[in-house]
Amino acid sequence: MRHLRALVALQRGARGVSAAATARYATSTRLSPAARRCVLGPRRAGPWPVRQLATDSDVGGHAIARAVALLRDPEAVRGAREPILSAIQSIAIPGPTTELREQQALRLIQADALEPLLGFLRDDRLVDLHVPTYLCLIRLSSEPLVAHELLRLDAPAILATHVGHPDPRLQAAACVTLGNLALDPAAAAPLATSSVVDALLAALESPHEAIQRSALTTLASIAGSQRGRQQLRELESLLAISAKLSADYSEPLRMAAASALGNVLLDHDAAAQDALRESGALAELVLLASPVYSPDVCSAAAWAIHHGAHLNRESQTMVVDAGGLGLLFQHAFSDDESLQTNALLALDSLTVGHDDNTAICRNNADAVELLAALQRDAADDLNASAKLALHSLLTRLR
């Protein structure tokens, strides 16, 4: 009952709810010492020692060498397709453990197995090989070492040309491969080129939602870099992403858009925050924070509200007027860690530097006491970000 009373009081304390208003961490990839030497140190001219490339047998290494030789043979590529397709399929990393997969990835890189695959994608005459080549690269690019090598080979420039390909299979495959490369925070900046970003933004107009969602997920990862955020917070880019918050789209797509916006606004750029509010996207985010949506959707919305309103007085006011304060207060007690954390971060952002919003919360004794009890009784269950946000919020309210 106290939660309910606090919620009602917070809603009543908000100033004039209008109809119009209501209407992603970057750490380096963990690699074994041998793998890290491959990434950071010079590549060896000769074969890798057996102790570095320990495999079940030497057969696998010979098979890779034969496959690469076949893929590099112009006459073979112009010939029958079955041997070429078999060679592409044999370029794989099937190891059951991380260490073994790193060793297999090193072997593929040393054999220069990736270059002929990218060569196929460059050649429009080999369009019949593009889909099987992408299927191979999608599997390989999830391995950190392979992802780093693909970046070194400037694969994103090739992939970007296929994001806008007329064949939706190639569009989807290119988006997924770029998404795999972007999973490593260290890759966010190299991917933040105008050719890649523009291609992904254009993919948001695809009639296929899966392609739109993949593009948004990749854009969210790219926004993890300063360079990526600089491009994506341009008005046209911001509006293209914000448009996917509309109720016309599915929850997964709206969640992907909210997550991307939260990352784009990590720097709390005032102009971008203003554009978010003035376009109606901030009001859409408040609606997405409603408990009628899944915890994942609400968490993404709270994440975007946190960065979209931080220290922006007009945006802070709008979120509270739209009923966001009560919604976020509810989520602050969620069993879902991500939702709880992002709700606490958003509550902190709505009150910092805003005396009126702070007063609304401070004057609700039940709300303050419940937050204090959360800090006192559930401290061990909160992650570092949630603890910091809650401490900051309560310091302001007391």
**Around Cβ 326, how many Cβ atoms within 10 Å?**
20
Write down the mean pLDDT value for the chain: 88
How many domains, in total, are found in the chain? 2
Residues 274 and 396 grouped into a single domain? yes
Residues 89 and 183 grouped into a single domain? yes
Residues 105 and 182 grouped into a single domain? yes
The whole domain housing 319 covers 1-22+270-398
User: Does residue 105 sit within a domain?
Assistant: yes
Give the pTM: 0.84
Residue 347: alpha-carbon gap to chain centroid: 23
Question: Where residue 5 falls among pLDDT bands split at 50, 70, 90?
Answer: low
What lies within 8 Å, CB to CB, of 396 at 6+ separation is 348, 351, 352, 358
pLDDT digits (tens, 9 = 90+) for 28-70: 444 444 444 433 333 333 333 333 334 443 446 788 999 999 9
User: Does residue 45 sit within a domain?
Assistant: no
Residues 71 and 210 grouped into a single domain? yes
Selection from 200, 297, 203, 307 nearest residue 264 by Cα: 307
User: Does residue 84 sit within a domain?
Assistant: yes
Distance CA(93)–CA(107), nearest Å, equals 10
Is the model's pLDDT at 7 over the cut of 50?
yes
Residues 279 and 341 grouped into a single domain? yes
Distance CA(206)–CA(163), nearest Å, equals 10
Report, as an integer, the average pLDDT of 273-290.
98
Return the exposure string of 104-143: e unless at least 16 CB atoms fall within 10 Å of the residue's CB, then b: bbbbbbbbebbebbbbbbeeeeeeebbebbbbbbbbbbbb
User: Does residue 128 sit within a domain?
Assistant: yes
Question: Where residue 190 falls among pLDDT bands split at 50, 70, 90?
Answer: confident
Residues 194 and 77 grouped into a single domain? yes
Residues 15 and 72 grouped into a single domain? no
Distance CA(339)–CA(255), nearest Å, equals 13
CA 180-262-298 angle, to 5 degrees, is 100
Residue where a domain stops, chosen among 197, 218, 239:
218
SS3 151: helix
User: Does residue 303 sit within a domain?
Assistant: yes
Under 8 Å between Cβ of 211 and 200: no
**Which amino acid makes up residue 296?**
D
Residues 386 and 298 grouped into a single domain? yes
What's the pLDDT at 61? 75
Residues 280 and 332 grouped into a single domain? yes
Q: Measured between alpha carbons, how far is residue 31 from residues 51, 103, 188 in Å?
A: 17, 11, 18
User: Does residue 58 sit within a domain?
Assistant: no
**DSSP class of 322:** T
CA quadruple 124, 125, 127, 133: dihedral positive or negative? negative
Distance CA(311)–CA(375), nearest Å, equals 24
Residues 146 and 210 grouped into a single domain? yes
Q: Token match 């993919």: residue?
A: 203
Question: Over pLDDT 70: what percentage of the chain?
Answer: 85
Least confident of 87-101, 264-278, 289-303: 87-101
What lies within 8 Å, CB to CB, of 364 at 6+ separation is 6, 9, 10, 13
Q: Token match 């978010």: residue?
A: 276
CATH number at residue 173: 1.25.10.10
